Amino acid sequence: MTRGAGTTRPLVNLRHLLSPKPHDHGGAGTILAHRIFARGEGAGADFIDLAVLPPGTSIGRHRHGHDRETYVVLSGSGVMYRDGEAFRVEAGDVIPNEPFGEHGLSNDTDAELALLVFEVAAHEKEDTDGDPVR
C-alpha cells in the first residue's frame, strides 16, 4: 500500500514499530514503546515516544532532571502517580510532569493503555535581577 498516486513511500503502522521494554523504570511487566522523534542525545535530549501498557503493566515511579515530561493518554485508563499523589487518568488526559518531580503510570484495567510521552529540556531563563524564571 502506498500513500497516494505517484508516490512509492509505503505506509507504516506504528504497531509494527513497537519494541518491548521490560520493567520500564522498574515497573511491572513489559510495556511496548517506539521513539517517534528525537533531537539530541543523552541527558537533555528532546523526544516523543509512543508507549503501550498492556493490562497489569506499569512505568515505574521515577524522576528526571531538568526536563519536562508530559503524558498524553490516547486510549485506555490507569492510575497516575505524581509527586506523592495517585489519581485516575483516561483517554484525552494531558499530564505534565515537572522537572525533578516523581511520576509513574500503572494500567490496572483489562484493556491496553496507549500514550504519547513528550520530553523537552526545561531551560531556565534569568530575569533582569539574575534570578531563575520558569
77-120 pLDDT tens trace: 999 999 999 999 999 999 999 999 999 999 999 999 999 999 99
The larger pLDDT score, comparing residue 8 to residue 72, is at 72
Record the pTM: 0.81
In this structure, what C-alpha cell is assigned to residue 12?
507504516
Which cell numbers hold the place of 27?
Answer: 515497573
Work out the angle at residue 99's Cα, subtended by the Cα atoms of residues 78 and 127, and round it to the nearest 5 degrees. Answer: 145
Sort strands 30-39 and 19-22 into parallel, antiparallel or unpaired.
antiparallel
Q: Which of 95, 113, 101, 104 lies closest to 27 in space, CA to CA?
A: 104
| pLDDT attached to residue 1 | 47
Cell numbers that stand for 4 in this block: 497516494
Q: Give the model confidence (pLDDT) of 21-35 as tens digits.
A: 999 999 999 999 999
Q: Which amino acid is at 62?
A: H
Residue-wise pLDDT for 50-81, tens only, equals 999 999 999 999 998 888 999 999 999 999 99
